[in-house]
Amino acid sequence: MNNILIVGSGGREHALGWKLSQSNKVNKIYFAPGNGGTSINIDIQVDDVDQLLEFAINNNCFTIVGPEVPLKLGIVDKFLANNLKIFGPTQIAAKLETSKSWAKNFMQKYNIPTAKFEIFDNYESAIKHVRVVSYPIVIKADGLASGKGVFICNNFQDSSFVLDKMFLKHNFGNAGNKILIEEYLHGRELSYIILSDGETIIPMETSKDYKRIFDRDKGDNTGGMGSYSPADIDIGIQKQLQQMMKNVIHYMKNMGMPFVGFLYAGIIIHNNIPYVLEFNARMGDPECQSIMMRLQSDLYDYLLACVNGKLANMPKLNWNPKHAVCVVLASDGYPNNYSKHEIIYGCNSILDCNNMIFHAGTRKINNVLTTNGGRVLGVVGLDNDRKLAATRAYNTSRKIKWKSKYNRTDIGYN
């Protein structure tokens, strides 16, 4: 029996822990720092790599990294140097996510379809460019911005507002010191996520998330307001995506930076060709919540096979053929300012294998559950088709209440 340390505090980490708890090879599961729905919680933040290392050594843990921040800080390199088992990419391999400009240059070099782009590191040249470009365009902060550093601009005024925020007001800190300006691609989006041990890949089931804050994909980009799995894409596109990810893993290995972990490609199908919008060096949130509800294999075996370089020996993953829909319940005002510490009611509804509540921005003190973040809960429904699954998720969501609760009403329906 093995102890697990899950680094992170979101719905993704709750879902990974829930799945791992079903393995008979897993003993204790620790979450650092975890949330109001997880246990056993350890009071160590995700960027405190030294303390996490000490905890993992003292408790003999296999560590699983949820979010991108500790990957960027080199948590995997440090744990490996101490002979600890850890699931996730090294600092240099995580550049696929931590620097959008690095990832775009990688895609260009290896002919991976992606939107045309230019990179700018100062306000003057960027503003000159947006005066003459044809609209719409997409402006992206180069560094990490929790999914909130991407702006679709329809005219010069929009662009000038965004460039002002990035370069002059420094709203994105160092992440916005370098930016990308991309052509806007029309099309349907999906998330394509694989497991890799640096050489072999095993795809997860397809999924889709809803990035925008308001119904019908209006308003600001967020970390994700809902998800479903499977995404409806044909088998031909799936085969192309699988080959593309195999190639990425192969090129990374050849460059001396093998990628071990979950690799996530944000895809847009434009003119029937899958273009990569971004790579993430981790599981998606809230895609993970929908995907974990459908996974039937023992996740522990696969994560261990990845860190041991043994994925080629593993059979395909088994999936529940039902559809999963995850509705994110957020605090009104997210992804900008929102209130915290509001009491959450109705979260103890009876759940079963077709209905789960994964916690994200919650905190439990003396058995009182309160809000503690922008995305608060993810409610997942599982059913024979996507609409039924969505209805199941919304029926449970309606029973949960707090003062500034907000959710989209169209997740899974369009």
Please calculate the CA angle 13-410-14 and round it to the nearest 5 degrees. 10
Two tokens, residue 252 = 């990374």
Looking at residue 35, its amino acid is: N
- Contact pattern from residue 141 through residue 160 relative to ligand AMP, giving x for each residue in contact according to CB under 6 A and a dash for the rest: ------x--x----------
Comparing CB distances to ligand AMP, the nearer of 211 and 323 is: 211
Is 224 near ligand GLY (CB under 6 A)?
yes
Of these, 23, 238, 280, 331, which contacts ligand GLY (CB under 6 A)?
280
Comparing CB distances to ligand GLY, the nearer of 17 and 223 is: 223
CB 368 to ligand AMP: min, Å: 35
Is 10 near ligand GLY (CB under 6 A)?
no
Q: Which of residues 158-217 bind ligand GLY (CB under 6 A)?
A: 209
CB 306 to ligand AMP: min, Å: 24
Q: Which of 147, 124, 125, 149 is nearest to 139 (CA)?
A: 149
Segment lying near ligand AMP (by CB under 6 A), choices 81-89, 179-187, 341-349, 360-368: 179-187
DSSP strands (E only) in 155-222: 179-183, 188-197, 201-203, 208-209, 212-214, 218-221
* Closest residue to ligand GLY, based on beta-carbon distance: 224
CB 213 to ligand AMP: min, Å: 12
CA–CA gap between residue 345 and residue 347 (Å, rounded): 6
Segment lying near ligand GLY (by CB under 6 A), choices 280-288, 333-341, 363-371, 398-406: 280-288
Longest dimension (CA), the chain: 62
CB 75 to ligand GLY: min, Å: 18
Is 147 near ligand GLY (CB under 6 A)?
yes
Residues 6+ apart with CB under 8 A from 396: 349, 351, 355, 357, 379, 381
Q: Which does 150 bind (CB under 5 to 8 A by kind): ligand AMP, ligand GLY, none?
A: ligand AMP
Q: Please, which residues bridge with residue 65 across strands?
A: 7
Two tokens, residue 408 = 């989209």
Q: Which of 87, 34, 18, 5 is nearest to 380 (CA)?
A: 18
Residue 289 sits at φ, ψ, to 5 deg, of: -65, -40
- Contact pattern from residue 82 through residue 121 relative to ligand GLY, giving x for each residue in contact according to CB under 6 A and a dash for the rest: ----------------------------------------
Segment lying near ligand GLY (by CB under 6 A), choices 24-32, 165-173, 284-292, 299-307: 284-292
Is 289 near ligand GLY (CB under 6 A)?
no
Contact yes or no for 106/119 (Cβ under 8 A): no
Contact yes or no for 214/188 (Cβ under 8 A): no
What residues make contact with ligand GLY under the rule CB under 6 A? 147, 209, 223-224, 280, 284-285, 287
